[in-house]
Each structure stands twice: as structure tokens, then as C-alpha cells.
Amino acid sequence: MMKIRNIMTKDVVTIDKNSGIMEAATQMISKSVSSLVVFDKNKPIAIISEKDIIKGIICKKTRVKDLMSKEFMIISPHTKFSEISKSLREKKIQRFPVVENEKLIGLITETDIIQATRDFTRFHQIVQEIILAIFGLATAFFLFYFSPLGASIF
């Protein structure tokens, strides 16, 4: 089973809800991230993404609190991967702040989920290939062992 701690981004970039849109844009550019977790009184309350920033510039909105998306789900490091995948599919949530003991410890994005799924699939393919190789060798051994040539050797 995949653990949330292993796939989350640990260095989360945050911003206060009362910050300006230009400050948010500057942070995204300087930290090379596509979203920021919005805080109010040391608690994550929303997410602001590149798309939100672009909309804000077009609409001339100036504060993060005017643009932030409240459509997000806070998860714990013990949340099951299947729950996250379900929220991604059904609720179209793309970013999940990870909170433990009321402290932000990470962020899981759609990209993290895709990468984890790809790695998990790759692992299963390798395991299947190993099992097929073992069965192939066992089959070859038994075919040889019970053949007339194998019977004369053994």
C-alpha cells in the first residue's frame, strides 16, 4: 500500500489570505510552483493556483482571499490512497494539503498521484515478469525431467 508521506511534496509554499495577487504570483515564480496553500491564522483554508492568479489579473482583483479556491480537501498522512484518487476523479480536486497535529506537513498534487500510480504499475509489471520467468523455468525443468532424455539422465 502506498503511503501518503512517501508521495507528498514536503516543502509546501504558503501565503496569507490577505496577501496581494502580485506577491502570490512572485512566490509562485520564485519557488517554481503552480499553487500555494492559503493560510489564515496558521491554518490552511484554501489553495490558489496559477489559473486563479490569471483570472485575478484579468478581473483586477487584488487579494488572495478574493481568488482562492475553497474546493480542496485536507488529508492526514494516514488517508488511504484510494480516497484521494476518488476525490480526484469525482470532485475534481487536484491538490490535497496534508495536515498532521494541526500542522501542514505536505501537499499532494495530481502530478504526485499520477507518478505514484505509474511507479506502482511499473512495480507490478516487474513482479509479473519475475513470476512468469519462474513458472517458465519450472515448466521447462519438468518437461525435460519427464522426457525420455531426462528419464535416462535421472
Quick one: pLDDT at residue 154? 65
- Based on the domain organization, do 26 and 73 belong to the same domain? yes
CB-based contacts of 71: which residues, under 8 Å, 6+ apart?
Answer: 91, 92, 93
Shared domain check, 84 and 38 = yes
User: What pLDDT is recorded for position 39?
Assistant: 92
- Looking at the fold, whether 81 and 23 belong to one and the same domain comes out as yes
Considering the domain architecture, whether residues 99 and 124 belong to the same structural domain is answered as no
Task: Give the model's pLDDT for residue 129.
Answer: 94
Could you list the residue range(s) of the whole structural domain that residue 90 is in?
Answer: 4-110
Q: Is the domain of 149 the same as that of 80? A: no
β-pair partners for 147: none
Domain count, the chain: 2
Helix and strand tally (H, E) in the chain? 7, 5
Q: Is 104 in the same domain as 141?
A: no
The sheet with strand 35-40 has its strands ordered as 14-16, 35-40, 43-49
State which amino acid sits at residue 64: V
Q: Report the CATH number at residue 37.
A: 3.10.580.10
Q: Are 64 and 104 contained in the same domain?
A: yes
Q: Kindly give the confidence (pLDDT) of every residue in the chain, 154 residues in length, as a single tens digit, with 9 standing for 90 and above.
A: 677 888 888 989 999 999 988 899 999 999 999 999 999 988 899 999 998 888 877 766 578 888 887 777 889 998 888 888 888 888 888 889 999 988 999 999 888 888 888 888 888 899 999 999 999 999 988 888 888 876 777 6
Q: What is the CA radius of gyration of the chain?
A: 25
Q: Are 148 and 85 members of one domain?
A: no
Q: 96 and 122, same structural domain?
A: no
The pLDDT, as a whole number, for residue 70 is: 73
Would you state the pLDDT for residue 67? 82
Tell me what pLDDT residue 57 has.
74
Query: Hey, how many other C-beta atoms are within 10 angstroms of the C-beta on 68?
Result: 23
pLDDT of residue 102: 85
* Pair (90, 37) in one structural domain: yes
Question: Which residues in 108-143 are b (16+ Cβ under 10 Å) and which e?
Answer: bbeebbeebeeeeeeeeeeeeeeeeeeeeeeeeeee
Does residue 102 sit in the same domain as residue 120? no
Q: Could you tell me if 100 and 122 lie in one domain?
A: no
> 69: helix, coil or strand?
strand
Cell numbers given for 74: 485536507
Q: Would you state the pLDDT for residue 68?
A: 84
